[in-house]
């Protein structure tokens, strides 16, 4: 999922130029790798429970409380367009409350309770490692929305100790 400032009851990405002004995300330089893609996301988040989502703690509690979460903000590289451009109210998830927040030397994460359960996908299972020395250099998958562009996935990541 991506984190955006909370919209109204519907969300229409076909009105992107007007939305860029509202969300203060100017277009990227077209020479940049993803420069032709729309910028909207503020953060990346992932589902950790039916109605709980985990994201970056550096967002701050107040910003998270005023945020919404959209799933499927992805780029269809085959057709050169957004996978999905319109979200109904039932597809927009808002932060009901911030359950856990940390932004210091020991961590940068937050867990938010959503205003309703997410029914059409399964939460990720988290592996909590207390000892950083136990994290090996095995491959890792990473999902991100670089510079607010649609979500990207790589399986070429690596844990670094």
Model pLDDT, residue 21: 47
64-114 residue pLDDT tens: 998 888 888 777 778 777 777 788 888 889 999 999 999 998 888 999 999
Q: CA 106, CA 146: separation in Å to the nearest integer?
A: 24
Q: Which residue has the higher pLDDT, 63 or 16?
A: 63
137-154 residue pLDDT tens: 666 666 677 667 777 777
Q: CA 158, CA 160: separation in Å to the nearest integer?
A: 6
The overall average pLDDT reported for the chain is 78
Q: What percent of the chain has pLDDT over 70?
A: 70
Residues 15-30 have a mean pLDDT of 56
Half-sphere exposure of 129 (CA within 13 A, CB side): 8
Is 24 exposed, middle or buried, given 0-12, 13-18 or 19+ CB atoms closer than 10 A?
exposed
CB 82 within 8 A of CB 13: yes
Residues 29-56 have a mean pLDDT of 82
pTM of the predicted structure, to 2 decimals: 0.74
DSSP code per residue over 125-139:
PP---S-GGG----E
Q: CA 140, CA 129: separation in Å to the nearest integer?
A: 15
Give the contacts of 148 (CB within 8 A, at least 6 positions apart): 25, 39, 40, 41, 42
Phi then psi dihedrals of residue 88, to 5 deg: -75, 165
């Amino acid at each position: 999922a991506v984190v955006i400032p909370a919209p109204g009851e519907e969300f229409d990405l076909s009105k992107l130029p007007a939305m860029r002004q509202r969300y203060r995300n100017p277009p990227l330089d077209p020479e940049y790798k993803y420069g032709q893609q729309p910028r909207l996301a503020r953060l990346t988040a992932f589902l950790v429970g039916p109605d709980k989502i985990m994201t970056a703690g550096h967002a701050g509690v107040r910003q998270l409380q005023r945020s919404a979460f959209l799933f499927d903000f992805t780029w269809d590289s085959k057709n050169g367009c957004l996978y999905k451009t319109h979200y109904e109210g039932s597809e927009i998830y808002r932060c009901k409350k911030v359950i856990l927040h940390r932004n210091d030397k020991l961590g940068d994460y937050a867990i938010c309770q959503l205003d309703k359960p997410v029914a059409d996908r399964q939460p990720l299972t988290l592996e909590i490692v207390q000892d950083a020395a136990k994290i090996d250099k095995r491959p890792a998958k990473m999902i991100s929305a670089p510079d607010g562009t649609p979500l990207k996935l790589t399986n070429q990541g690596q844990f670094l100790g």
